[in-house]
């Protein structure tokens, strides 16, 4: 049976704080500091120190005080304390939610108790306080903690969450069974971030709790890209003369910011109730908002007053973990049968003096227990922690002797040991906190009944994440289904970036299109990313880069197919002609075509046709080198052989005896061919060694052209120019023999083929210099094919026609006859020359015939 002493009458006056509101004897005395009232009366005219009168009974604080009493009695019945013969006592004061009143109470805890003030004190006057449980307000806890530090009396708060209290340098003896606001604000920021609410308002108080939460929330929100549109700070004291004007100012700010659909509040329940009343009536967007409630009012449905939940919108609350309330409920139900307890407890007497209360109705109904159970579990944890510390100490020494146990020993033990409650183990961390995380509640209205304890998720501080409870996997996302959008500016779509004006919030911005060759592939990007302009491109306002099209003279190109077919056909024709010439190599036509030199010409044409193939496809450095060198050497061999034929014709029909003798001595066919080839080989070797052709990529806006860089343009020009010089020499020599006998008229064909070659390459040079693009290789390829087919058509096709279809002309006698006829045509000219030279016509005819015959043979 608990022993409560009535120290004052049932009026809400605080007399001598030396006499506590409720006490119980024990070997170890625990102090209790609870907000049984919500404030004190104003004292405008203060002329001397006085005790203020407490006002507005606080059922939450009253329930928490009863929870401490129940927890102490439960600990005294535990087997461990019973075995040690140790009992816990308590001395509970009402802080009246006022710092000054709380300091008066803490002064009572730090000095020995005496029986004064007209009350009945049943505790041992010489028993000091070994630990204090309280207070609920961070501001009060900070104030009294400095006084408890003088004697290192351990203080365990069940509700103070200010971040500063984790500083053990300033508060070495302070502990708490709740998490720091650092974790609560982190949880709120995570919720806002998950819901994409980036434009929020903040309402808090000017006390340590409110300002600490404000600083923590703003810093974490800013780091997560969330902007605080406004910060309204209300007076911490409910009786402050500036309170009403501050609430009016907050209401006006909310009305001026209709885009702020989400408001985070660390205010007190009464302040929120007054704020809602101010907002009610004139349109303020009240019912369209989401209110994120801190632990200070997340379970207080009294804030609604006469309004219903839809009138204010959605409320998402953060509250501390709740344990099993069944034993405490049973305890409260049994108090009704103890009339003497009620009569001696000023808290109970005042509670039953409230409207709609009677001593026969029970202390609290089950519904009220659920409503006012905030921090009950945390109070029980605080008592259990002290009980385990006392057990550890008293198992090593005699605690029944006064003065044996000192407060700092209890404080040290609490930091070192863990304790159990309801089968679970709990430990204070190095900051003196127990971080259990938070329950996330969503207020609901069912048939006019407000449920503020519908837990839809749990917050886990270790990994900064939420886990949804069974049956509520979509409750938080339901808020977004209702089109709750709280942003200053709409999201910038991919392809745009955010441009913030100087002095504005980072959440207020313009959406600007990305420029060319830049992109943004996500929403709300601060800047556009750059494309790799070597391989990618993008238009203005693009959400991604497009790979540049790789262009080259492809195998699949129709033009390339035609040219390749012509090259392949040329190779086939060359092989067929070669085979035909080999089969008839002893005939006059083949001998007249050059004999063995014709095979060299055909072989060079094969190489030239093959070189044309290397101009098609994706170029490589090797391909670039091979195609030009192969063509240069092949066509040089071809023209060198034709040059030898031209010189032979000139030698055979040169009438000037002196020049003929010189030509006979210089005419060494194979030496001439080797010399011509050597000069071209030297040119190509120097080209490859000093500055060889290689692959290059020319980058354009949307394409990349893969082409060959010829390296040294001078070497390329020298190679082609050298071939052109040889061709010009061939043309000059053959032009002189253009009127030779018809069946022996090689000069005409050489003249025409070389003229065709020179004209095609003369046309090629300006086109090649002024043209660019993937079809540039096709230009040179066309010229090569024209040159090859020109030689093939002029030098070999007429001979093939004679071999195949004019076999009677392919005889020695036919050629001699043709030469003879040619000789007679020019006989008149020769006779005139003979008269001038005093020679007979027969001598001239005989000499000309013999030379022609020798040329044919």
Q: What is the CATH number of the domain that holds 220?
A: 3.40.50.2300
- Residues 315 and 412 grouped into a single domain: no
**Cis, bond preceding 70 (omega within 30 deg of 0):** no
Predicted confidence band of residue 835 (pLDDT cuts 50, 70, 90): very low
Contacts of 444 (CB under 8 A, 6+ apart): 309, 450, 451, 454
The most distant pair of C-alpha atoms in the chain lies apart, rounded to whole Å, by 177
Predicted confidence band of residue 507 (pLDDT cuts 50, 70, 90): confident
- Residues 226 and 276 grouped into a single domain: yes
Q: pTM of the prediction?
A: 0.63
Strand 703-709 with 694-699, pairing? antiparallel
What 3-state DSSP class applies to 132?
A: strand
What are the counts of helices (DSSP H) followed by strands (DSSP E) for the chain?
A: 29, 29
3-state helix, strand, coil in the chain (%, to 5): 50, 15, 35
Structural domain includes residue 212: yes
- Residues 156 and 270 grouped into a single domain: no
- Residues 631 and 685 grouped into a single domain: yes
Round to whole Å and give the CA distance between 590 and 479: 98
- Residues 566 and 692 grouped into a single domain: yes
Q: Which residue bears the tokens 């029944």?
A: 400
Structural domain includes residue 13: no
Q: Which residues pair with 698 in a beta bridge?
A: 705
Structural domain includes residue 784: yes
Q: What is the DSSP letter of 3?
A: -
Please check whether residue 553 is in contact with residue 616, taking contact to mean a CB–CB distance below 8 angstroms: yes
Mean pLDDT (whole number) for 824-840: 50
What is the signed CA dihedral for 464, 468, 474, 475, rounded to 10 degrees? Answer: -90
Q: What is the pLDDT of residues 322-374, one digit of tens each?
A: 878 888 888 877 765 455 455 456 777 777 777 765 555 555 554 455 455 67
Round to whole Å and give the CA distance between 252 and 267: 17
And the tokens for 78? Answer: 């535990």
List the one residue out of 712, 651, 715, 656 whose CA is nearest residue 683. 715
- Residues 568 and 583 grouped into a single domain: yes
Most confident of 362-366, 504-508, 830-834: 504-508
Number of domains, the chain: 4
- Residues 265 and 341 grouped into a single domain: no
- CB crowding 667-680: b at 16 or more within 10 Å, else e: eebeebbeebeeeb
Q: What is the mean pLDDT of the chain?
A: 81
Structural domain includes residue 416: yes
Structural domain includes residue 120: no
Q: Is the dihedral of CA 728, 733, 738, 742 positive or negative?
A: negative
User: Quick one: what percent of the chain has pLDDT higher than 70?
Assistant: 81
Contacts of 372 (CB under 8 A, 6+ apart): 59, 60, 62, 63, 364
Least confident of 367-376, 546-555, 563-572, 614-623: 367-376
Q: What is the pLDDT of residues 98-154, one digit of tens each?
A: 888 999 888 888 876 544 333 334 444 447 899 999 888 889 999 999 999 988 999
- Residues 447 and 507 grouped into a single domain: no
What 3-state DSSP class applies to 851?
A: helix
Q: Which residues pair with 204 in a beta bridge?
A: 233
Q: What is the DSSP letter of 165?
A: G
Burial of 550 (0-12, 13-18, 19+ CB in 10 A): middle
Please check whether residue 73 is in contact with residue 22, taking contact to mean a CB–CB distance below 8 angstroms: no
Least confident of 42-46, 104-108, 373-377, 613-617: 42-46
Q: What is the CATH number of the domain that holds 799?
A: 1.20.1070
- Residues 139 and 282 grouped into a single domain: no
Structural domain includes residue 621: yes
Structural domain includes residue 473: no
List the one residue out of 630, 625, 638, 636 whose CA is nearest residue 611. 630
Q: Is the per-residue pLDDT at 2 higher than 70?
A: no
- Residues 525 and 580 grouped into a single domain: no
Task: Tally Cβ neighbours within 10 Å of residue 739.
Answer: 13
- Residues 192 and 253 grouped into a single domain: yes
Q: What is the pLDDT of residues 54-108, one digit of tens each?
A: 888 888 888 899 899 999 999 999 998 998 989 999 989 999 988 889 998 888 8
Mean pLDDT (whole number) for 756-765: 86
pLDDT at 823: 58
Domain interval for residue 527: 490-547
Structural domain includes residue 122: no
Predicted confidence band of residue 820 (pLDDT cuts 50, 70, 90): low
Helix axes 596-613, 621-652, angle to 10 degrees: 150
Alpha carbon 420 to its chain centroid, in Å, reads: 45
pLDDT at 116: 39
The secondary structure of 562-597 as a DSSP string is HHHHHHHHHHHHHHHHHHHHHHTTTSHHHHHTTTHH
- Residues 63 and 188 grouped into a single domain: no
Q: Which helix (H) or strand (E) holds 84?
A: helix 79-84
- CB crowding 552-586: b at 16 or more within 10 Å, else e: bbbeebeebeebbebbeebbebbeebbebbeebee
| Phi, psi angle pair for 439, to nearest 5° | -95, 135
């Amino acid at each position: 049976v608990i022993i409560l002493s009535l120290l004052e009458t049932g009026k809400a006056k605080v007399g001598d704080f030396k006499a506590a509101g409720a006490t119980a004897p024990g070997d170890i005395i625990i102090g209790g500091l609870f907000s049984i009232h919500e404030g004190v009366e104003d004292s405008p005219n203060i002329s001397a120190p006085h005790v203020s009168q407490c006002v507005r009974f606080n059922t939450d604080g009253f329930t928490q005080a009863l929870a401490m009493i129940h927890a102490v009695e439960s600990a005294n019945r535990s087997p461990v304390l019973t075995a040690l013969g140790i009992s816990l006592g308590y001395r509970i004061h009402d802080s009246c939610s006022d710092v000054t009143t709380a300091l008066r109470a803490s002064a009572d805890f730090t000095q020995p108790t005496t029986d004064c003030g007209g009350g009945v004190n049943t505790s041992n006057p010489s028993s000091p306080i070994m630990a204090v449980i309280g207070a609920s307000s961070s501001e009060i806890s900070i104030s009294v903690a400095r006084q408890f530090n003088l004697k290192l009396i351990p203080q365990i708060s069940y509700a103070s969450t200010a971040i500063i209290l984790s500083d053990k340098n300033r508060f070495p003896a302070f502990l708490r069974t709740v998490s720091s606001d650092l974790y609560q604000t982190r949880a709120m920021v995570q919720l806002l971030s998950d819901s994409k609410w980036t434009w929020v308002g903040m309402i808090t108080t000017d006390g340590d709790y409110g300002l600490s939460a404000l600083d923590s929330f703003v810093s974490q929100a800013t780091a997560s890209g969330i902007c605080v549109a406004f910060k309204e700070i209300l007076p911490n004291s409910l009786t402050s003369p500036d309170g009403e004007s501050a609430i009016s100012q907050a209401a006006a700010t909310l009305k001026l910011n209709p885009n702020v659909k989400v408001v985070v509040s660390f205010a007190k329940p009464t302040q929120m109730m007054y704020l809602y009343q101010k907002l009610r009536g004139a349109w303020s967007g009240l019912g369209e908002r989401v209110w994120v409630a801190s632990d200070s009012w997340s379970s207080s449905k009294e804030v609604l007053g006469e309004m219903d939940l839809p009138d204010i919108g959605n409320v998402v609350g953060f509250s501390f973990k709740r344990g099993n309330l069944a034993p405490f409920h049973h305890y409260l139900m049994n108090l009704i049968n103890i009339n003497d307890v009620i009569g001696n407890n000023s808290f109970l007497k005042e509670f039953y003096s409230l409207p709609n209360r009677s001593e026969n109705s029970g202390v609290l109904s089950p519904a009220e227990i659920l409503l006012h159970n905030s921090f009950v579990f945390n109070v029980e944890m605080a008592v259990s922690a002290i009980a385990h510390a006392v057990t550890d100490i008293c198992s090593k020494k005699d605690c029944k002797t006064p003065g044996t146990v000192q407060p700092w020993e209890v404080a040290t033990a609490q930091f070192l040991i863990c304790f159990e409650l309801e089968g679970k183990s709990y430990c204070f961390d190095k900051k003196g906190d127990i971080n259990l995380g938070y329950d996330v509640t969503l207020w609901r209205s069912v048939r006019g009944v407000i449920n503020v304890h519908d837990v839809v998720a749990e917050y886990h501080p270790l990994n900064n994440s939420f886990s949804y409870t069974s049956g509520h996997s979509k409750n938080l996302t339901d808020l977004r289904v209702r089109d709750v959008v709280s942003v200053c500016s709409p999201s910038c779509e991919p392809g745009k970036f955010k441009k913030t004006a100087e002095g504005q919030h980072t959440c207020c911005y313009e959406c600007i299109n990305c420029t060319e060759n830049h992109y943004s592939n996500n929403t709300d990007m601060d800047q556009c990313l750059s494309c790799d302009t070597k391989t990618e491109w993008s238009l203005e306002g693009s959400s991604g880069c497009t790979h540049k099209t790789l262009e080259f003279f492809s195998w699949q190109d129709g033009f390339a197919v035609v040219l390749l077919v012509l090259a392949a056909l040329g190779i086939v024709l060359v092989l067929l002609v070669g085979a035909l010439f080999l089969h008839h190599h002893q005939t006059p036509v083949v001998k007249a075509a050059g004999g063995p030199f014709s095979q060299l010409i055909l072989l060079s044409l094969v190489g030239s046709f093959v070189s044309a193939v290397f101009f098609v496809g994706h170029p490589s450095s090797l391909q670039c080198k091979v195609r030009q060198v192969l063509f240069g050497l092949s066509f040089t061999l071809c023209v060198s052989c034709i040059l030898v034929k031209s010189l032979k014709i000139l030698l055979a029909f040169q009438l000037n005896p002196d020049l003929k003798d010189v030509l006979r001595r210089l005419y060494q066919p194979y030496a001439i061919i080797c010399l011509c080839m050597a000069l071209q080989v030297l040119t190509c070797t120097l080209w490859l060694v000093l500055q060889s052709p290689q692959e290059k990529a020319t980058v354009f806006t949307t394409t990349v052209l893969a082409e060959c860089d010829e390296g040294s343009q001078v070497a390329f020009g020298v190679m082609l120019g050298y071939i052109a010089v040889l061709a010009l020499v061939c043309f000059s020599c053959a032009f002189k023999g253009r009127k030779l006998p018809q069946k022996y008229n090689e000069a005409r064909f050489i003249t025409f083929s070389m003229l065709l070659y020179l004209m095609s390459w003369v046309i090629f040079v300006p086109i090649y210099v002024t043209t660019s693009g993937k079809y540039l290789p096709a230009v040179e390829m066309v010229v090569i094919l024209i040159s090859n087919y020109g030689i093939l058509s002029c030098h070999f096709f007429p001979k093939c026609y004679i071999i195949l279809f004019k076999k009677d002309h392919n005889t020695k006698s036919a050629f001699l006859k043709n030469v003879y006829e040619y000789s007679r045509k020019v006989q008149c000219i020769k006779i005139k020359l003979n008269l001038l030279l005093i020679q007979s016509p027969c001598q001239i005819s005989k000499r000309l015939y013999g030379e022609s015959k020798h040329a044919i043979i």
